[in-house]
Amino acid sequence: MDERPSGVSTFQDLVGGSVVMQRVYAAISQVADSNIAVIVRGESGTGKELVAKAIVALSSRHNKPFIRVNCAALPENLIESELFGHERGAFTGAVDSKPGHFELADSGTLFLDEIATLTLPLQTKLLRVLEDHHVQRLGGRHSKKIDFRLICATNEPLEEMAKTGKFREDLYYRIHVVPVHLPPLRERTGDIALLADYFLRTHAAANNIQPKRLTPEVLTILEEHNWPGNVRELENLIQRLLITVKGTAIHPEHLPAQILEQSLSAQDAILLPRDGVGFDEQIRQMEIALLEAAIRRESGNKAAAARLLKLDLQRMKYLCRKYSL
């Protein structure tokens, strides 16, 4: 793939043609073919691992190991052993020697996702490894020199954590050499249509499902949504719609209630269905509903109901005769 990101709508496995994504592509291209530490900043669900993979794919380490560690997913009592490895007998249950993720990443790249969840003692050990690139297994007597590039990711405010002592300040400066900021989906104007089309095609093919399309009304509704779960939320929605919607077109009524409730376009679509409505009949039903509600509210007193509806009594009587109320 051409490494020049200007104007493209896809870049490695990333999808999006917005201005903010063009900046991300440019940043990836600038840092890819080097060995400096990179940290990917962004909300959960924005695709930080895809950025890490794009950096590796464009680097000289592209055919070397890529080791991913989700620091938040590993139990606290196991993460040190997973990162640094252990020798046989180092602790109860260590029946064999095992290399850690640092060793497995030798000559390649180590991606530490959710790095802010590491405990302070582990941060100290990580800092030491980054300083001299030597790793000693738990229970081991000797250290081993390794060559790896570190890419980290977080959705936490590391600056505030460093100020309050929850994250080592010296480690912060060590890993924060080049930050790549990945924007939330709500700031990626125009990318929702590209992403939705991509997910429709790829998941339909992967699951042998008949291809489907979004109607223009649905696309407008999706573009109005604020996407707190970012790209992951959109992808999950598209997967669900592919399975649950019969036919080839996805209409507003197929969308979840929480998305419809936030959208003015969705409310318009509900008020005015795609097949149209009879205007006079809708007005008639609305008048009846208001009259009946007012009469019920005033316990059958039509004069009081007229005052509630701000109608003069003669018009109230006329409408009640008209609708046999």
Task: Please identify, among 183, 199, 220, the residue that sits at the C-terminal boundary of a domain.
Answer: 183
Residues 96 and 14 in one domain: yes
Domain count, the chain: 3
Residues 79 and 174 in one domain: yes
Q: What is the pLDDT of residues 284-323, one digit of tens each?
A: 887 888 888 888 888 889 898 888 888 888 888 888 888 8
Residue 1 forms part of a structural domain: no
Q: What is the pLDDT of residue 279?
A: 75
Q: What's the rounded Cα separation, in Å, for the pair 204 and 239?
A: 8
In percent, the amount of the chain with pLDDT more than 70 equals 92
Residues 26 and 96 in one domain: yes
Q: Is the dihedral of CA 243, 244, 250, 256 positive or negative?
A: negative
- Any idea which of 160-164, 240-244, 276-280 has the lowest mean pLDDT? 276-280
Residue 5 forms part of a structural domain: no
Residues 29 and 97 in one domain: yes
Residue 203 forms part of a structural domain: yes
Residue 227 forms part of a structural domain: yes
Residues 226 and 101 in one domain: no
Residues 29 and 156 in one domain: yes
Q: What is the pLDDT of residue 292?
A: 87
Q: What is the pLDDT of residues 253-275, one digit of tens each?
A: 898 888 887 755 445 555 556 66
Task: Please identify, among 271, 295, 310, the residue that sits at the C-terminal boundary of a domain.
Answer: 271
The residue type of 266 is A
Residue 236 forms part of a structural domain: yes
Q: What is the pLDDT of residue 273?
A: 60
Average pLDDT (219-228) is 91
Residues 299 and 250 in one domain: no
Residues 209 and 257 in one domain: yes
Q: What is the pLDDT of residue 98?
A: 86
Q: What is the pLDDT of residue 294?
A: 85
pTM higher than the cut 0.85? no
Residues 45 and 145 in one domain: yes
Residues 262 and 287 in one domain: no
Residue 4 forms part of a structural domain: no
Mean pLDDT of the chain: 88
Residue 2 forms part of a structural domain: no
State the CATH number of the domain containing residue 119.
3.40.50.300
Q: What's the rounded Cα separation, in Å, for the pair 181 and 179?
A: 6
Task: Please identify, among 183, 198, 221, the residue that sits at the C-terminal boundary of a domain.
Answer: 183
Q: What's the rounded Cα separation, in Å, for the pair 231 and 68?
A: 20
Residue 47 forms part of a structural domain: yes
- Any idea which of 76-85, 100-109, 153-162 has the lowest mean pLDDT? 76-85
* Residue 206 tokens, joined: 């992967």
Residues 142 and 61 in one domain: yes
Q: What is the pLDDT of residues 32-61, one digit of tens each?
A: 989 999 999 999 999 999 999 999 999 999
Q: What is the pLDDT of residue 7?
A: 65
Helix or strand holding residue 144 (H, E): strand 143-145
Q: What's the rounded Cα separation, in Å, for the pair 153 and 82?
A: 18
Average pLDDT (247-255) is 90
Average pLDDT (194-214) is 93
State the CATH number of the domain containing residue 263.
1.10.8.60
- Which domain, by its residues, includes 128? 10-183
Q: What is the pLDDT of residue 68?
A: 96
Residues 17 and 158 in one domain: yes
Q: What is the pLDDT of residue 123?
A: 94
If we measure between CA atoms, which residue out of 36, 35, 48, 53 comes closest to residue 178? 36
